[in-house]
């Protein structure tokens, strides 16, 4: 029953925000640039919330200055980390990785609440990310940084990833450390993938038809350019196929709060 109620709440919230974005691509000629170019633009990232996909697992509330995302952290793709009775359970089938080994955990329902700034800005000192969730992907899955659990080596842990490059930690919290390939396969290689805790968006590895490398990005794994969503420019992270994958040396902006 609670899940049905959550879905209705989530849907109604999405309906409120569902008509906000898009419509601008052909209007580029009409944009007047009259701002002081040295002034940092503060964008309203709430225009991205209707791009979240796995809505039955998410509740998103857009407030005046913050966006609160509550997730059950349930991947919408198959995984052998679901219990075998789950309709999304699928045995691992990745013949390209003979080193594969399943970790002993299964996916369980989480209650992660992330409150991010609606108008993210560059921080004067860049806070390090911590263990555990550092962001939420559009399909409700937690994003983790490039570090393994204490005592483990992340490059060994890669061999425990399922066919969509995720795995659960000790409490059953499923997460991605690297490009969420199910999302880029279904939404596009340059798609909006989710938010980090500082409110800045994460995009796929492609931009303007070109695959980005870490050399295209700063120490935090992002850069400021115009994007389809923000034609005036916005700082954003990119997932790349090289370590550190999603985030580098911490948050570009000031992180909000996250409980789990
Ligand atoms: Zn992990
Ligand atoms: Zn970019």
Distance CA 109, CA 96 (A): 30
Distance CA 55, CA 1 (A): 16
Which of 87, 62, 93 is closest to 75 using CA atoms? 87
Residue 189 has pLDDT above 70, yes or no: yes
Cα of 53 from ligand 2 centre, angstroms: 21
Cα of 202 from ligand 2 centre, angstroms: 9
Cα of 12 from ligand 1 centre, angstroms: 33
Q: How confident is the model at residue 204 (pLDDT cuts 50, 70, 90)?
A: very high
Place of tokens 């409980």: 259
Cis-peptide into 249, omega within 30 deg: no
CA contacts within 13 A on the Cβ side of 232: 16
Cα of 31 from ligand 1 centre, angstroms: 43
Q: Would you report the helix, strand and coil content of the chain in percent, each value rounded to 5?
A: 20, 20, 60
Cα of 156 from ligand 1 centre, angstroms: 10
**Residue-level pLDDT at 152:** 86
61-95, pLDDT tens digit by residue? 999 999 999 999 999 999 999 999 999 999 887 77
Q: Is 93 left (phi over 0), alpha (psi -120 to 50) or beta?
A: beta
Cα of 150 from ligand 2 centre, angstroms: 32
Instruction: Report phi then psi at 243, rounded to 5.
Output: -50, 135
- Check if the beta carbon of residue 212 is closer than 8 Å to that of residue 205: yes
Ligand nearest to the CA of 147: 1
CB neighbours (10 Å) of residue 29? Answer: 5
Residue 11 has pLDDT above 60, yes or no: no
- Check if the beta carbon of residue 214 is closer than 8 Å to that of residue 93: no
Distance CA 120, CA 117 (A): 5
Cα of 17 from ligand 1 centre, angstroms: 32
108-149, pLDDT tens digit by residue? 999 999 999 999 999 999 999 999 999 999 999 999 999 988
- Check if the beta carbon of residue 260 is closer than 8 Å to that of residue 175: no
Cα of 100 from ligand 2 centre, angstroms: 32
Residue 190: C-alpha distances to residues 143, 186, 249 (Å)? 17, 11, 23
Cα of 144 from ligand 1 centre, angstroms: 7
Q: How confident is the model at residue 22 (pLDDT cuts 50, 70, 90)?
A: very low
Q: DSSP H helical segments within 146-199, as ranges?
A: 154-157, 181-187
- Which element (helix H / strand E) includes 183? helix 181-187
For the chain, the residue count is 260
Cα of 148 from ligand 1 centre, angstroms: 6
Lowest-confidence pick of 6-15, 35-44, 188-197: 6-15
Ligand nearest to the CA of 210: 2
What share of the chain has pLDDT > 70, as a percent?
84
Cα of 234 from ligand 2 centre, angstroms: 9
Cα of 82 from ligand 2 centre, angstroms: 33
Ligand nearest to the CA of 149: 1
**Residue-level pLDDT at 96:** 74
């Amino acid at each position: 029953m609670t899940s049905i109620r959550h879905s209705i709440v989530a849907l109604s919230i999405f309906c409120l925000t569902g008509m906000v974005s898009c419509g601008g691509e052909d209007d580029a000629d009409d944009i007047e640039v009259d701002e002081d170019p040295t002034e940092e633009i503060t964008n309203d990232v709430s225009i991205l919330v209707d791009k979240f996909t796995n809505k039955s697992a998410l509740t998103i509330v857009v407030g005046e200055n913050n966006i609160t995302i509550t997730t059950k952290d349930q991947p919408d793709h198959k995984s052998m980390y679901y219990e075998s009775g789950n309709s999304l359970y699928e045995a691992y089938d990745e013949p390209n990785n003979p080193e594969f080994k399943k970790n002993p955990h299964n996916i369980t329902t989480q209650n992660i609440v992330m409150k991010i700034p609606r108008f993210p800005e560059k921080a004067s000192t860049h806070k390090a990310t911590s263990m555990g969730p550092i962001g939420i992907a559009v399909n409700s899955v937690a994003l983790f940084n490039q570090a393994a659990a204490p005592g483990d080596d992340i490059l060994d842990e890669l061999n425990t990833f399922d066919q969509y490059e995720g795995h659960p930690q000790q409490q059953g919290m499923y997460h991605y450390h690297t490009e969420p390939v199910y999302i880029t396969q279904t939404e596009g290689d340059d798609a909006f993938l989710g938010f980090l805790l500082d409110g800045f968006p994460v995009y796929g590895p492609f931009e303007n038809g070109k695959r980005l490398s870490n050399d295209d990005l700063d120490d935090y794994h992002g850069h400021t350019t115009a994007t389809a969503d923000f034609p005036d420019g916005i700082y954003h992270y990119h997932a790349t196929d090289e370590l550190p994958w999603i985030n580098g040396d911490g948050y570009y902006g000031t992180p909000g709060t996250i409980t789990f």
